[in-house]
Structure formats: structure tokens, C-alpha cells
Amino acid sequence: MRLKIRLSIGAQILACSIAVAVAFTAVNAFAYYKVIQIERSYEQLLSYSISLIKDVKGVNIELWNQSTQVRSYVMSADKRNLQQYWDSQQRMQALLATLGTRMQSPEAEREFSVWQLAIRDYVRILDNGISVRDKIGQEDTVKYFATIAERAEGIDAITRMFLAFIDNEVAVKKEENHASVIIVENTVMGLNALIFLLVVGFSFWISRRIARSLAGVVIVADRIADGDLTYRSLNYKGDDEIGDLVKSFQTMTEHLRNLMSQVRRSVEQVASSSQQLTAIAEQSAQAASQVAGNVAQVAGGAANQVSAAERSVAIVGDMYKAIHHIAATAGKVSIYSDDAAKAAVAGSETVSQATGQIRTITETVNKSAQAVQKLGASSQQIGEIVDVITGIAGQTNLLALNAAIEAARAGEAGRGFAVVADEVRTLAEQSQEAAQKIADIVRSIQTETGVAVRVMNEGAAEVEQGTKSITATGDTFNHIVILVQGLNRQIQEISAAAQQLSASSDEVVKSVNGVKSIATDTAGNTQTISAAAEEQSASMEEISSSSQALSLMAADLQTAIGKFKL
């Protein structure tokens, strides 16, 4: 069994906002992690290059010191110079051993080996110079050192080549770091663009979904307000507030359709019954006229009176049955009119409930707009933070420029610091460019947020228009209730008149039977019969008038119901 989770529109928007926040946090965390890695790599590179250059220059200084001590020893034969020479050699060997362990590539090890061999060869020459001084004297030793001057220049050239190799290796690593920075920038920009597209797509989807659904509801509500109940269903499959609105609206439409069908049938029955009642009343009036004529002729002869009495009995019997039929029909019509009134009241209550639900949707849309506006405010805060970062990067750039100027003033001693200052300035410029790109993205997000708020406000206006249409439908139902209640009162009056007519008919029957049984007293009872006939004629006129009023009311009700298409 699959678990069906219901997500409201507010929950969907909140989930999207949380997802966007998490995505931006993840992207920023990734960028921060990569920047820290690149910064550490660059610091290690600077430390490595500065330390290497320092040690290489230290070896070069020790070589120069050894050459100086040997020359001093040749000129003065002072053993202290010789001791300083051996001490310098030990320091140089320690530096060479340290440098040997810090070569990080086969090419570096090969260049270091070449340089180390050249140093050993030069040290061997210096050692030979000491031996020559001890064996053959000062003058020949000076000549010996004059012949090896090119060796000293060679070791200087090899040292410069090794330093150039180190500089080149450092430059390669700098390029690698720069490439890593570009990769991080492109990755962050791509992820931000993807998140932006997803946010825009979701906003467009949900706004279009709400707008299309509410537009369909408004169209159907307008058609119902015009009396068209033929629309069967709205195509919406979402399980949210809009879905509830659509279901309630369809239920209301179905109830209205059933109510109008029932009212139409009841009205047709009322119209038919009123026509029958009118016809019966006319027949009764004609019969009463005939009775009056016959009573006038009673004095002419008993035989004619008896015959007229028999005809009167038959006519009054038919009239009595017709009156009972009218009373029964009026009772049924009264029941139908009560049902119609109850159904109309139920339809009015359904319209009120639909109006309340649409107002709830309006409040939900307004809350969604407020949430999107808060997102825009957060984007504004991000833009302010980016401006602060841009300012810091600019200040860092100025500080790096000042540091480079001071390093240039320091000459050779500040060359390494000048390299560091130049790299810091480069990083500051890159940071400033990245901050500007982030600011552009934030401004784009603020623009799209404004579009989303405008779309939600338009949706709220459409919902308000739907509320007005449904309110008009409720007014129509109230009018129907009033008409049905008036019809019910008229039917009750007809029923009362029919009962009164039935009682009068009983009296007429008794009177006519008396005329038949007492033929000899016909002349004396003629006045009584004439009065009864006049009373019956008056009753028939009342019934005819009531039936005509009922017929007119039925026609009015049919006209009102005819506005609705089922």
C-alpha cells in the first residue's frame, strides 16, 4: 500500500525555499573549502620556494666563504682560516642534505645532482689549493687559483641555473593553483546558474498551475452566474487547497444541477395542477349556473325538478371528486415546494462555504507573496555582504601594492617579499571579480523574486473575482428561495379553499337529495337551493381566481428556472 503524502501550496513553496537555501549553503561551503585548499597550497608553495631559495643562497654564501677562507689561508697561513673553512664546509653539507630531501620531482633531483656534483668539484679544487699551499708555498698556490677562476664562474652559472629551475617549478605550481581557482569559479558559477534555473522553473510551474486552475474556476463560476449548469468537471489532479476548491466547486455545481432539475419538475407539476384546477373551477361554475337555471324552472313542474335534481346530484358528485383531487394535488405541490426551498437553502450554504474556501486561498497566496518578499530581502543582505567583501578585496589590493613598493625599495633583500606581495595583490583582484559576479547573480535573483510576487498578486486578484461571481450565484439562490416560499403560501391557500369547497359540496349534495325526496316541497325550497347555488358559484369564482394566481406564479417560476441550463 503506497503512502500518499498531502503537500499544501505553502508547504511546497517552503520546501523549495529550504532546498534553495541548502543548495546555496552547499555551494558556498564547497567554494570556501576549495579556496582554503588553494590558499594552503599557495602558502606551502611560498614557504617551499622561499626556503629552497634561502638554502641555495646559503650554500652559495658558504662556497664564497670557503673560497675567502682558503685565499686568506694561502696568503697568511693562519690556521684559524683553515678551521673556519672546515666549519663552513660542515654547514654547507648540512644545507645540501636538507635540500636533497626536499626535491619533489625527478627533474628536481636531477638538477640538484648536477649542482651538487659541481659543488663537490669546486670543493675538491679548494682542498687541492690547501694541499698545494702546504707543499709548494704561497706563490705557486696563487698561480694555481688563477688557473681555476673559470671553475668558480662555472659553479656560479650552475647555481643560477638551479635557481632558475626552482623559479620555473614554482611558476608551474602557481599556474596549477590558478587553474584550480578558475575551476572553482566555473563550478560555483555553474551550480549557482543551475540553482537559479531550478528556482525560476519551479516558480513558473507553481504560479502557472495556480493561475490556470483558478482561471478555470472563475470561468465556470461566471457560467453558473449566467445560469449555465452544463459544465461537468474541472481538470485538476493536485492534492492541495486548489484541489479541495475544485472538488467543492464540482460538488456545488452537481447539487445546483440536481436542485434545478427537481424544482423544474415541481414547477411543471404545479403548472399542470393549476391548469386542471382552473378547468375544474370553470366546469363547477358552469354547473352552478345550470343548477340556478334549473331551480328557476322548478316551479314549472315537479317532473322537471326531479330530473334536474338527478342531474344536479351527478354534477355535484363529479365536482366533489374534483375538489378532493384538487386538495390532494395541492398537498403534494406543498410538499414539493418545501423540498425545493430546503434544496435552495442548501445550495446557498454550499455557495457560502465555497466563498470561505476561496478567501482562505487568497490568504495563502498573500502569505506566499510575503515569503517570496522575505527571500528578496535576504538576497539584499547577501548583496550588502558581497559589497563588504569587495571593499576588503580593494583594500587588500592597495596594501599589496604598498608592500610591493616597499619591497622594491628594499632591493635584493626584499625580492622574495615582493613576489609574495604581487601574489596577494593578484588574489585580491580575483576575489574582487568573484564578489562582483556574486553581486550580479544576487541582483538577478532579486529581479526574479519581484516577478514571482507580481504573479502571486495577479492570482489573488483572480481569486477575488471568483469570489464575487460565487456571491452573485448565492444571491440568485436566495431569490429562488423567496419565490418558492411565496409559491408554498399560495398552495396552502389553495388547499384551504379546496377544503372549504369540499364542505360546501357536501351541503349541496344534501340539499339536492332533499329536493329529490321532497318533490312536493320543491317550490318552497327553491329559495334555499338558489342561495346554495349562489354560494357554490362564489366558491368556484374564488377557486378560479386562486388557480389563475397559482398558474401565474408557476409561469414566473418557470421563467426563473429557464435561465439555468442543465
Q: Note whether 551 and 491 are within 8 A (CB).
A: no
Q: Note whether 495 and 331 are within 8 A (CB).
A: yes
Structure-derived torsion over alpha carbons of residues 286, 292, 294, 295, reported in degrees to the nearest 10 = 160
pLDDT at 89: 92
Q: Note whether 71 and 135 are within 8 A (CB).
A: no
Taking only the tens place, the pLDDT of each residue in 130-151 is: 887 777 777 777 777 766 667 7
Average pLDDT, the chain: 75
pLDDT at 302: 53
Work out whether the CA dihedral 280, 282, 285, 289 comes out positive or negative: negative
Query: What are the counts of helices (DSSP H) followed by strands (DSSP E) for the chain?
Result: 9, 0
Q: Note whether 468 and 222 are within 8 A (CB).
A: no
Tell me if residue 459 falls in helix, strand or coil. helix
Q: Report helix, strand and coil shares of the chain as percent, to nearest 5.
A: 95, 0, 5
The rounded distance, in Å, linking the Cα atoms of 527 and 499 is: 25
The rounded distance, in Å, linking the Cα atoms of 275 and 289 is: 21
Q: Is the pLDDT of residue 88 over 90?
A: yes
Best mean pLDDT range from 103-107, 209-213, 236-240, 414-418: 103-107
Q: Is the pLDDT of residue 483 over 80?
A: no
Q: Is the pLDDT of residue 169 over 90?
A: no
Helix (H) or strand (E) holding 497: helix 415-517
- What's the grid cell of residue 503? 364542505
Please give the C-alpha separations between residue 308 and each of 38, 61, 287, 294, 363, in angstroms, as whole numbers.
Answer: 128, 161, 11, 6, 81
Rg (CA), the chain: 57
Helix-helix angle 149-225:241-298, to 10 degrees = 0
Phi, psi of 228 (to 5 degrees): -95, 110
Confidence (pTM): 0.37
pLDDT at 1: 46
Q: What are the boundaries of each domain within the chain? A: 12-189, 226-367+467-562
Mean predicted confidence (pLDDT) in 233-242: 67
The rounded distance, in Å, linking the Cα atoms of 421 and 485 is: 95
- Give the CATH number of domain 12-189: 1.20.120.1730
Best mean pLDDT range from 51-60, 168-177, 358-367: 51-60
> What one-character-per-residue DSSP string does 412-424 give?
GGGHHHHHHHHHH
Taking only the tens place, the pLDDT of each residue in 267-290 is: 777 677 777 767 766 776 676 567
Q: Which residues partner with 228 through β-bridges?
A: 565
